[in-house]
Structure 1
């Protein structure tokens, strides 16, 4: 039995647990999902449950390929983006390998690297894989397309594979995406469940060369994308262009929320997506508990190595107003 497993990563989105514990309604600002998801008709077909999903997911991959101008052989799918992170690391990393991860960022990168038997570094030395989150979670830093391509060129020059996580770019600025780039040194991750606000179905997808995708699909457990998730994803990609309205509404609410944070004298990282990293004048856990007592759940960023920061999602205007009122009451 292994006794050197890393500790499980901390995540936001535990609102169902908090609702049960508090026996009341809680507004979840800890999970960064689209507050204005596209509306389209979709009714789950219960009769589909009698059959196994098609583990090749051919129709789904063809729909994704059509949406982004990529071949279906360049598409991987999984039970949320985390499954694809772990499948990728299991496929390309092993004992003795090194992965470059710059903090603060999504904790599952390091978790997957260690589970694959490799080690993490933040340095500029040679590594088998470099992880880059764009826009970054939790800071919201958005790299331009040109900057990302320079990083890719540098990685390729060192024989490094760039793992690029674009889970939030659809709610930020997709013009900065490199989803159209096919390169043997690039693996690009996306998350449908964040952009369409359906985290409960767990669906992530990714792009790479057919050779790399085949390795990832070999490692991935079979049938992990269930029939309902597959059905919803196919319909969502057929309405993918509706995310433009989501981005516009998020940008307006984000600007309003920032103006209110300014009025409170709070410092925050320049946001680019549907979340804001805020520096607070007390220990994060203290403020998190105060806000929770008022029915507001925010992300405690201690797990990112930021003991005096919280991360809040951008939600609807009325919900954002409630967040500001709670902050006014809870800040010292």
Structure 2
């Protein structure tokens, strides 16, 4: 493990902590959840608490295998995407292995790679593993499927592994997914947290070669997906088709926000998903603090290496209107 690791990764979604500190009502634009999630008919069954979950999660793996057109032995599960990233790294990365991570992007890749003994660099030609977030967090950039197929071909030729994080793909354009491609050199990850706006239900799943999935399942701690999470995930699997309506509504709201930002002269990264990284023309830290006093939580992108940027989630029209009113009041 890299001895220089001294802190956890910074994440958004601090509403519970803010609520504990003040009576102010906050609208949370710092966490990127689907603002229009499908309705999942589910309620906790207390009887599930009487037994351990099935640690092989066969029913769960079968359900998600059907969703992505793969076999159950190509599916692994985990306590959210963070556990899957951590498990993947400890399974694949060897001490001193170069790992390619191009910033700005999700911080858990670099931390997990270093914890597993890897050395992280951007644009490293000799990397044994390359991480790609698609669409990317925090920029929202969606890499076309054709480009990823080219990356995979290069990985196969060099006997390396490409990890593609598709946590937001269902909220962007699932036609760009590579989850249907079977290769020993490709691993794809998905997350219910973002798609169904259920951060309290920790569930993610991965798609990969059966040999890699088997090794990851050995590395994963036993019973890491609790019974409530498993039950919800099974119910949510039947609602994936409804995410098309979410995508349509998110696109409308995102375009509405971007048109107002453009009119106000505020630059932003073109996004394909449910969040936008923008450049307000002043340092992110004091702006984030000022917005917090107005009941608006946004993501300071300093931890992404972008101290001049903030990231905002796309929410409902009225909430988006309140965000822009507060933002324009702070930057004018």
User: Is TM-score (shorter-chain normalized) higher than 0.5?
Assistant: yes
For 2:116 and 2:2, locate their aligned partners in 1 and report how far apart those are by CA, in whole Å: 13
- TM-score (normalised: structure 2): 0.98
For 1:3 and 1:170, locate their aligned partners in 2 and report how far apart those are by CA, in whole Å: 37
Q: For residue 25 of structure 1, what is the aligned residue in structure 2? A: 25
Structure 2 runs not aligned, ≥5 long? none
Q: Is the 8 A contact 2:97 2:119 kept in 1?
A: yes
**Deviation of residue 69 (structure 1)?**
1.1
**Deviation of residue 14 (structure 1)?**
1.1
Q: For residue 234 of structure 2, what is the aligned residue in structure 1? A: 234
Q: Is the 8 A contact 2:99 2:118 kept in 1?
A: yes
Alignment of 1:102 with 2:88, yes or no, is no
Per the alignment, do residues 147 and 308 of structure 1 end up closer, same or farther by CA in structure 2, a change over 3 Å counting?
same
Question: What are the residue-to-residue correspondences of 1:61-140 with 2, within 5 Å?
Answer: 61-140=61-140
Map Cα deviations across residues 83-107 of structure 1 (whole Å, 9 max, x no partner).
0000000001121211001010001
**Deviation of residue 2 (structure 1)?**
9.1
**Deviation of residue 121 (structure 1)?**
1.2
Q: Which runs of 4+ in 1 moved over 4 A?
A: 1-4
Question: What are the residue-to-residue correspondences of 1:1-332 with 2, within 5 Å?
Answer: 4-332=4-332
Q: Is the 8 A contact 2:182 2:208 kept in 1?
A: yes
SS at match of 2:77: strand
For 1:129 and 1:228, locate their aligned partners in 2 and report how far apart those are by CA, in whole Å: 33
Map Cα deviations across residues 163-215 of structure 1 (whole Å, 9 max, x no partner).
00011011000010011111000010111111000011111111001100011
For 1:138 and 1:76, locate their aligned partners in 2 and report how far apart those are by CA, in whole Å: 26
For 1:120 and 1:189, locate their aligned partners in 2 and report how far apart those are by CA, in whole Å: 20
**Deviation of residue 24 (structure 1)?**
2.2
**Deviation of residue 325 (structure 1)?**
0.7
Q: Is the 8 A contact 2:314 2:320 kept in 1?
A: yes
Q: Is the 8 A contact 2:284 2:307 kept in 1?
A: yes
Structure 1 runs not aligned, ≥5 long? none
For 1:223 and 1:193, locate their aligned partners in 2 and report how far apart those are by CA, in whole Å: 19
Q: Is the 8 A contact 2:189 2:207 kept in 1?
A: yes
**Deviation of residue 124 (structure 1)?**
3.6
For 2:40 and 2:51, locate their aligned partners in 1 and report how far apart those are by CA, in whole Å: 25
For 2:21 and 2:35, locate their aligned partners in 1 and report how far apart those are by CA, in whole Å: 24
**Deviation of residue 4 (structure 1)?**
4.2
Q: Is the 8 A contact 1:6 1:115 kept in 2?
A: no
For 2:149 and 2:201, locate their aligned partners in 1 and report how far apart those are by CA, in whole Å: 32
Aligned length, in residue pairs: 332
SS at match of 2:200: helix
Q: Is the 8 A contact 1:152 1:186 kept in 2?
A: yes
**Deviation of residue 286 (structure 1)?**
0.8
For 2:129 and 2:3, locate their aligned partners in 1 and report how far apart those are by CA, in whole Å: 25
**Deviation of residue 262 (structure 1)?**
1.1
SS at match of 1:99: strand
Q: Is the 8 A contact 2:98 2:124 kept in 1?
A: no
**Deviation of residue 3 (structure 1)?**
5.4
Q: Is the 8 A contact 1:6 1:111 kept in 2?
A: no
- TM-score (normalised: structure 1): 0.98
For 2:104 and 2:22, locate their aligned partners in 1 and report how far apart those are by CA, in whole Å: 31
For 2:14 and 2:220, locate their aligned partners in 1 and report how far apart those are by CA, in whole Å: 26
Map Cα deviations across residues 246-273 of structure 1 (whole Å, 9 max, x no partner).
0000000001011111122100000100
User: RMSD of the alignment, in Å?
Assistant: 1.2
